[in-house]
Amino acid sequence: MSERPAPAHRAAADQDPERHGERLRELDRDLIGLIQLRLREDRLLQGARRAAGLPRTDLARENAVLSGYREALGPAGAQLALLLIGMTRRPDQSAGGREERTPHDP
């Protein structure tokens, strides 16, 4: 049988703002990494579609993404999905959010 903290101790631990703040910072770092990974993978998919002679984007797939986010997170989830989709539609942006420059760009 595992030891569980008494309700008063558990409540005190749950009220530690620094612990919660650090956990949120950790989650934000994780989310940023996952978003960057998603952007890279989406760009690879777009390149593969172009190489196969297909349109760069698949609107049915994008609609499925929107629906999935909306079902999981509500209306704000759909907005988040639109932001993610929009981030991959800007060819001048890298996954890190900085403009990509070719060697001949000033």
Residue 57 tokens read as: 């984007």
Among residues 41, 82, 36, the alpha carbon closest in space to that of 62 is found at 82
- Residues of the chain with pLDDT below 50 are 95, 97, 99-106
Class of domain 21-88: mainly alpha
b/e 18-55 (16+ beta carbons within 10 angstroms → b): eeeeeeeeeeeeeeeeebeeebeebbeebeeeeeeeee
Residue 15: the pLDDT is 87
Residue 7: the pLDDT is 59
Residue 9: the pLDDT is 55
Q: Do residues 79 and 68 lie in contact, with contact meaning Cβ atoms separated by under 8 Å?
A: no
Residue 101: the pLDDT is 39
Residue 89: the pLDDT is 83
Cα 40–chain centre separation: 11
Residue 105: the pLDDT is 36
Residue 10: the pLDDT is 57
In single-letter form, the type of residue at position 18 comes to E
